[in-house]
């Protein structure tokens, strides 16, 4: 079987421009979100159990994302009236109001983002794109249809990306790293003089000149 070639943005690429219909009306993405971080995520289909749990989980953390100047945008290839009815169902049955827009995409948009899983029909995979205020793709995650996402991890990496832009790299499991807890890592020295001065600088903590860290501001 031959599959259609999938093109998708890579880390550091511009998020593809698209004019889309959403549950909040027509949007131009990423233009309408300029100056904000946003999480653009796809789900296989409306009115499915795993997707419903994901949307409730995203909504429960919606205010936490917005405190980080970060918006949420959902997407699948369902038509917009299906999205609207599903959102109504979630509010009526689960008492959760979905406040972020859901894009009614077509196959062309889904393929542009690599969201159609070859051999899985027209359902979109569980893709996550985290995009910065300049429209650059900063992180990509892909989950199979059978596995629901961890929204706390998505929230964590938005925080971590913002910190890494201004303070330094973050360690594994941040902010609960086994070695340095919530501290940030100082970029390694790029010359011998800097390396040797770090070993002598009593204000810098670390294991060696290439592994120094500092408190989170």
The tens digit of pLDDT for each residue in 103-142 reads 998 777 777 777 766 665 566 778 899 999 999 999 999 8
Q: What is the pLDDT of residue 78?
A: 86
**Preceding omega of 56 cis (within 30 degrees of 0):** no
Q: What is the pLDDT of residue 119?
A: 60
Q: What is the pLDDT of residue 117?
A: 62
Q: Which one of 20, 51, 109, 186 is the catalytic residue?
A: 51
Q: Is 186 left (phi over 0), alpha (psi -120 to 50) or beta?
A: beta
Going by the DSSP 8-state scheme, the letter that residue 20 receives in this structure is: E
Q: What is the pLDDT of residue 122?
A: 61
Q: What is the pLDDT of residue 8?
A: 79
pLDDT at 186 over 70: yes
The tens digit of pLDDT for each residue in 26-48 reads 999 999 999 999 999 999 889 99
β-partners of residue 139 are: 130
The tens digit of pLDDT for each residue in 2-31 reads 444 556 789 999 999 999 999 999 999 999
Going by the DSSP 8-state scheme, the letter that residue 167 receives in this structure is: T
Query: Closest Cα partner for 44 from 32, 31, 53, 35?
Result: 53
Average pLDDT of the chain to the nearest whole number = 90
Q: What is the pLDDT of residue 2?
A: 43
Full-model pTM: 0.90
pLDDT at 185 over 60: yes
User: DSSP labels for 36-55?
Assistant: SEEEEEE-S-SS-HHHHHHH
All residues at 6 or more sequence positions from 127 whose CB lies less than 8 Å from its CB, including other chains: 41, 42, 113, 114, 115, 140, 141, 142, 143
Domains, in order of start, for the chain? 18-166 (3.40.30.10), 168-217 (3.30.1020.10)
The tens digit of pLDDT for each residue in 149-180 reads 999 999 999 999 999 999 999 999 999 999 99
Share of the chain above pLDDT 90, in %: 72
Query: Closest Cα partner for 82 from 35, 44, 30?
Result: 44
Question: Is 51 considered catalytic here?
Answer: yes
């Amino acid at each position: 079987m031959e599959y259609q070639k999938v093109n998708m943005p890579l880390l550091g690429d511009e998020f593809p421009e698209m004019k889309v219909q959403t549950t909040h009306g027509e949007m131009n993405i990423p233009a309408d979100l300029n100056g904000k971080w946003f999480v653009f995520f796809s789900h296989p289909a409306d009115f499915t159990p795993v997707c419903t749990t994901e949307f409730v989980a995203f909504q429960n953390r919606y205010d936490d994302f917005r405190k980080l100047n970060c918006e949420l945008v959902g997407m699948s290839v369902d038509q917009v009236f299906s999205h609207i009815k599903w959102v109504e169902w979630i509010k009526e049955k689960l008492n959760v109001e979905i406040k972020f827009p859901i894009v009614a995409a077509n196959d062309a948009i889904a393929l542009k983002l690599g969201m159609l899983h070859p051999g899985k029909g027209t359902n979109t995979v569980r893709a996550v794109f985290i995009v910065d205020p300049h429209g650059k793709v900063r992180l990509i995650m892909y989950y199979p249809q059978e596995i629901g996402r961890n929204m706390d991890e998505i929230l964590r990496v938005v925080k971590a990306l913002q910190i890494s832009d201004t303070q330094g790299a973050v360690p594994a499991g941040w902010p609960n790293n086994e070695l340095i807890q919530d501290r940030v890592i100082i970029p390694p020295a790029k010359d011998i003089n800097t390396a040797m001065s770090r070993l002598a600088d009593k204000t810098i903590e670390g294991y060696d000149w290439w592994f120094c860290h500092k408190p989170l501001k």
